[in-house]
Amino acid sequence: MSGGFGLVVRFGLRDPEAAAGFDALVARTLPEIERHEPGTLAYIVHSVPGEPLARVFYELYADRAAFDAHEQQPHVTHFLTEREQFLSDVEVTFLQAVTGKGGL
């Protein structure tokens, strides 16, 4: 397994209303990622059972350049700005593939 650049982002949301606003923002952003980012191989949003104010994103990119391109997209810069109003905390973990199953 070579190449590939990934990250896991855990978001803590302020309250149920913030969670609803965050989810709506994500729903508007995801189609743009699918439409405009061929180097974004996976962009999966998870809820966390038993933690209604948590969301976890798993993101996988073809390489670091694809991640950098993702970060520069207008829909992503909008998301990054708008998400702040909903958050209580953010934890980012960058990943480097070592082995596994998948088409990288």
Q: What confidence score (pLDDT) does residue 39 get?
A: 97
9-58 pLDDT tens trace? 999 999 999 999 999 999 999 999 999 999 999 999 999 999 999 999 99
Would you state the torsion angle of the CA atoms of residues 64, 91, 45, 73, taken in this order, to the nearest 10 degrees?
A: -40
Is the per-residue pLDDT at 104 higher than 70? no
- Tell me, rounded to whole angstroms, the distance of Cα 10 from its chain centroid: 9
pLDDT in tens, 76-97: 999 999 999 999 999 999 998 8
SS3 state at 14: coil
Rg (CA), the chain: 14
Q: Say if residue 1's pLDDT is above 80.
A: no
CATH number for 8-95 (one of 3.40.50.300, 3.40.50.12780, 3.30.360.10, 3.30.70.100): it is 3.30.70.100
